[in-house]
Amino acid sequence: MLPIDLRGKRAFVAGVSDDGGFGFSIAKSLAEAGASVCLGSWPPALGIFQKLLERGKMDASMALSDGRRLEFEKIYPLDAAYDSMTDVPADIRENKRYKDQGDFTIQGVVEQFKKDFGDKPLDIVVHSLANGPEVKNELLDTSRSGYLTAISVSAYSNVSFVRNFGPLMREGGSFLSLTYMAGERVIPGYGGGMSTAKAALEADTRTLSYEAGRRFGIRINTISAGPWASRAASAIGFIDMMIEYCAKNSPLPRKMEPTDVGNAAAFLASPMAAAITGSVVYVDNGYHAMGMAVSPEALNTPMG
C-alpha cells in the first residue's frame, strides 16, 4: 500500500468562493490526505461563501470519505490583482465589498499567515484563480486594458505568490497552479487574452521551478485540466459544448470529474512527487494527445 499522506502539512488554496470549481476539489483532496487547509477568497464573493458555509448549504460537499467534515483552518480575503495596499485604487479601497476586509492583497495575506502561524507555516500553495474581463471577445477585439488584466491576475499573480509565499514554505514545499489547453492550442471563443495568460503561466512554471527551486528549495508545477462547468468557466458561454466535445474525442471517453484534478493535486503536493517540478501535468482523459477529432461515427457512440 502506498497512500498519499499529508498529515502535518498546511495548505493554502487561493481562489475558492464556492464548492463547484477545481479549487474546492483540490482543497477537499488535500484534506482527505490529512492536510489542514486555509483558503483565499475574492472579497466580493467572500460574504456569500461564508453564509453558505454557516447555513449548511454546502454540507453535502463538505463530507469527507472517512466520515469527517471538511473544515477550513482560516479563510482570508484575497484579491490577487494587488501585491500590496499601495497598488489598490481608491475606488476599490472604498468599495463596500472591500473596505472592511483589512489587507486583502497578496502581501497582506502573507503577513497575516505569519501572525497566525509563525514564520514557516506552509507546505502547499495552490493558485486556482484567473480573471479575463473580456474573455468573450476575440483576441483581435480585446482592449489593451482587458489583455493586461488577464495577464496580471491569471499569470503574474502566480509569480507574486511564489516570491511572497516562498519564504514561508517548509522543506519540500510545493506550489501548484491551474492552466488550460488554450495556452498551447487554439480554442475558439476563449478570448480576451486568457489564452496568452495560460501560455505565460506555463512558461513561468518552468522558469520559476528553477529560480524558486534554487532560492527556496520548493517545487512548482501546473495542472492542465480538461473543461469543467464551474461558475467561472460557465461565464465563457460554451463550456457544455467543450465538455461534450472533449469527452467524445479523448482517448478515455469518460466524464471528467473535479476529483480527478483534486487527486492529482494531492499527489503533486506529496513527497511521492518529490522529483517532479517545472511540469505541466495533463488531467484531461488524454485529450491533449489527440491530433484530430475522431470519426463522425465514433462521435455518436455512447460514452462508457
Find out whether 112 and 103 touch, Cβ atoms under 8 Å.
Answer: yes
Helix (H, G, I), strand (E, B) or coil at 292: coil
Residues 277, 98: Cα–Cα separation, whole Å:
36
210 within domain boundaries: yes
Find out whether 193 and 139 touch, Cβ atoms under 8 Å.
Answer: yes
52 within domain boundaries: yes
146 within domain boundaries: yes
What are the grid coordinates assigned to 231, written together? 461558475
Nearest Cα to 95, choosing from 135, 42, 142?
42
Residues 149, 143: Cα–Cα separation, whole Å:
10
144 within domain boundaries: yes
Residues 271-297, mean pLDDT to the nearest whole number: 90
Q: Is the pLDDT of residue 301 over 60?
A: no
Domain range for 30: 10-299
Q: For this structure, is 147 an active site residue?
A: no
Find out whether 27 and 70 touch, Cβ atoms under 8 Å.
Answer: yes
Q: What's the confidence (pLDDT) of residue 304?
A: 53
Q: Say what the pTM is.
A: 0.93
4 within domain boundaries: no
pLDDT in tens, 77-129: 999 999 999 999 999 999 999 999 999 999 999 999 999 999 999 999 999 99
Q: For this structure, is 98 an active site residue?
A: no
Q: Is the pLDDT of residue 266 over 90?
A: yes
Residues 284-300, mean pLDDT to the nearest whole number: 78
Active-site residue, selected from the candidate residues 98, 190, 210, 282:
190
What are the grid coordinates assigned to 288, written together? 491533449
What are the grid coordinates assigned to 178, written together? 491551474
CATH number at residue 132: 3.40.50.720
- Number of domains comprising the chain: 1
Residues 44, 17: Cα–Cα separation, whole Å:
9
Residue 248 burial class via C-beta count within 10 angstroms: exposed 0-12, middle 13-18, buried 19 and up = middle
Active-site residue, selected from the candidate residues 98, 180, 245, 282:
180
- Span of 137-151, 160-174, 198-212, 250-264 with lowest mean pLDDT: 250-264
274 within domain boundaries: yes
5 within domain boundaries: no
248 within domain boundaries: yes
pLDDT in tens, 174-184: 999 999 999 99
> Which H helix or E strand runs over 159?
helix 157-165
The secondary structure of 37-87 as a DSSP string is EEEEE-HHHHHHHHHHHHTTTTHHHHB-TTS-B--EEEEEE--TT-SSGGG
